[in-house]
Amino acid sequence: MERNAGYQLKLEDISRFCKMDRFYFDKVFSKIYGISPMQYLHKLRLSRACALLQYSDLNVTQIANSTGFKDIHHFSRYFKEKEGISPSEYMKKTRGTRYICM
């Protein structure tokens, strides 16, 4: 999942890659990691987005696209829900700092 987080992954795709039934994969993954595979994927995407917002010259739309979110609106809503501020506000506040999100 780490290598392909920037793509539109579905649970079916991930479980097929692991040669497992998707329900069984979900159960095993959740037991090992304490969260569902999709929750893990979203956390991974958010973490990468935070790093890009802080340290890259990409704009918010480019970051949303490169981290696997469906579109800029979905990314912005999800980011604000998890971080409490919009991606652009986060970028302004943290650009070049060592602040870590989540």
pLDDT tens digits, 15-68: 888 899 999 999 999 999 999 999 999 999 999 999 999 999 999 999 999 999
Question: What residue spans define the domains of the chain?
Answer: 11-94
Q: Is the dihedral of CA 27, 32, 36, 37 positive or negative?
A: negative
- Between the alpha carbon of residue 20 and those of residues 7, 26, 43, 85, the distances in Å are 20, 9, 23, 38
Residues 88-98 have pLDDT tens digits of 999 988 887 76
The radius of gyration computed from the CA coordinates of the chain, to the nearest angstrom, equals 15
Reported pTM? 0.81
8 A C-beta contact, residue 75 and residue 67: yes
| Phi, psi of 51, deg, nearest 5 | -65, -45
Topology (CATH level 3) of domain 11-94: Arc Repressor Mutant, subunit A (1.10.10)
